[in-house]
Amino acid sequence: DIVVTQSPESLAVSLGERATINCKSSQSVLLGSTNKDYLAWYQQKPGQPPRLLIFWASTRAPGVPDRFSGSGSGTDFTLTITSLQAEDVAVYYCQEYYNVPFTFGPGTKVHL
């Protein structure tokens, strides 16, 4: 099974500042047949289900503000929130969907 790790566990960011979250998979999630990384990022606010933010490591899901961006390929990925807004306070998870089980990272709590 692919192991997915995230860092940091928790991140304090001031309003308007940048937040950077790292995600690492134990093996490559780049699918050769599509040349796409099967890595997604989700946002979860308290009492709510997760929301898909990014798929293919760097493509924003519909309706996601452009202050959210994903980067990386293979085994190392980053979620960046430029100019943090109050509504961005949440836990962020990465997930590989290259192979079952579709493992989630442990999450990163972003707070003010």
Partner 1 sequence: QVELVESGGGVVRPGGSLRLSCETSGFTFSRFAMHWVRQAPGKGLEWVAVTSFDGSNTYYADSVQGRFAISRDNSKNILYLQMNSVRAEDTAVYYCARYDSPPAGSRGLDSWGQGTLVTVSS
Binding residues (CB under 8 A) for partner 1: these are 31, 34, 36, 38, 40, 42, 44, 48-52, 55-56, 59, 61, 91, 93, 95, 97, 100-107
- Beta carbon nearer to partner 1, 16 or 46: 46
**Phi/psi of residue 25, each to 5°?**
-105, 150
Cβ closest to partner 1, residue 19 vs residue 53:
53
Residue 51 corresponds to which amino acid? R
1 by DSSP, 3-state: which? coil
Least Cβ distance, residue 15 to partner 1 (angstroms) = 26
Contact between 11 and 29 (Cβ < 8 Å): no
